[in-house]
Amino acid sequence: MSEAEVSTVERPGTAIDTLELPAEDLYDITIVGGGPVGLFGAFYAGLRQMKTKIIDSLPELGGQLNALYPEKYVYDMPGFPKILARDLAEQLIQQAMRFNPTICLNEKVLRLAHQPDGTIVLETQKGVHHTRTVVLATGAGAFSPTKLDTPGVNDYEGRGVFYFVRDKSQFTGKRLLIVGGGDSALDWAMNLEEQARQITLIHRRDVFRAHEESVDWLLHRSRVNVMLWHELRRVEGNGWIERAVVFHNKTGEETTLEVDAILLNLGFKADIGPLREWGLALHGNRKVVVNQLMETNLPGVYAAGDIAHSPGKLDLIATGVGEICIAVNFAKTRIDPTAKAFPGHSSNMSLS
């Protein structure tokens, strides 16, 4: 890793004012992020008998599974050949609640400060939280879709032009145009193939940024009309979208498609927000650098999931849930040096 890839943001140390706390207000571990990784971390912390809190900026648990694509199938979670994102979120929530963690929603963590006694204070827009350790499981941060600055797109957003799918039934019997060549575009083509009357997918080149199996399905086994080297030129309609004009970016030839809906899957912009100001060592200003124990450079602060960077890291839910087990176990040994980092398999524990 080059020095240019890792930066440490320096910030004057400003301890957050606090009073001496009753023991019940001090948590062993606070997980920032209520997505799949954070939820599994809360369950695992319960196994280690740690007093646990989850803080999340969203109004509901589940992270991207509920907020961005609740009706999209997830295929790469062990034990589930396929499962709707919202159902996976519900299963993870049920699992996390087994040991009754404290849940704080609609709270964005703004500041982190270490106290003289070694504990940590997290400040949100609603108050302060006291904890012995912290695990950052914020995903890649706050997401916003990459917008397309094409004539008519902004005018028809919400009136036939969509960046998210929260209800697949809105595409039933519709002529759908999907724009994009990544996993999201192909996943939605697969998810909506039986729902929509007709699907056309345009992609600006002939190389896809998606799993090989998805590309093979799209090109050889689906009924999707695939138009390579095509881009969206303009959107037309009368109160609701009616047409999309696309063009071949090599020849300039235009084609008019009669459509009822357009789904733009052009990726997302992520912002880690206030984390930049905490003095964390960062990779590319987007991820938090961790070691093999999932420790950051700040004492008692760990990271897991998409927010965490280490060499060779893959951003998968399956990877993240493994990482947060490591983080929780070593947070336990930080709190209690007599505890084992690996307490054994859950099948050997009494969970009744």
What is the structure's pLDDT at 19? 46
Q: Which helix (H) or strand (E) holds 201?
A: strand 198-203
Given a cut of 90, is residue 92 above it in pLDDT?
yes
Given a cut of 70, is residue 350 above it in pLDDT?
no
293-305 burial, b if ≥16 CB within 10 A, otherwise e? ebbbebebbbbbb
What is the structure's pLDDT at 68? 80
What is the structure's pLDDT at 347? 58
What is the structure's pLDDT at 8? 38
What is the structure's pLDDT at 142? 73
DSSP 10-56: -----PPP--PPPGGGEEEEEEE--SHHHHHHHHHHHHTT--EEEE-
What is the structure's pLDDT at 118? 94
The pLDDT confidence band at residue 343, using thresholds 50, 70 and 90, is confident
Domains and CATH numbers, the chain: 3-143+269-348 (3.50.50.60), 147-266 (3.50.50.60)
pLDDT tens-digit readout, 205-238: 999 999 999 999 999 999 999 999 999 999 999 9
Given a cut of 50, is residue 6 above it in pLDDT?
no
* Range in 131-135, 182-186, 328-332, 345-349 the model is least confident about: 345-349
**Average pLDDT for 105-134:** 96
**Average pLDDT for 129-141:** 94
Give the chain's mean pLDDT.
Answer: 90
- Other residues' Cβ atoms within 10 Å of the Cβ of residue 286: 16
pLDDT tens-digit readout, 57-78: 988 999 989 888 888 889 889 9
The pLDDT confidence band at residue 13, using thresholds 50, 70 and 90, is very low
The pLDDT confidence band at residue 124, using thresholds 50, 70 and 90, is very high
What is the structure's pLDDT at 11? 36
20-58 burial, b if ≥16 CB within 10 A, otherwise e? eeeeeeebbbbbbbbbbbbbbbbbbbbbbebbbbbbbbb
pLDDT tens-digit readout, 292-311: 999 999 999 999 999 999 99
The pLDDT confidence band at residue 271, using thresholds 50, 70 and 90, is confident
Given a cut of 50, is residue 180 above it in pLDDT?
yes
Q: pLDDT above 90 covers what percent of the chain?
A: 75
Given a cut of 60, is residue 9 above it in pLDDT?
no
Higher pLDDT, 8 or 81: 81
What is the structure's pLDDT at 257? 98
Contact criterion met (CB below 8 Å) for 250 and 206: no
**Average pLDDT for 136-163:** 90
Higher pLDDT, 340 or 289: 289
Given a cut of 50, is residue 266 above it in pLDDT?
yes
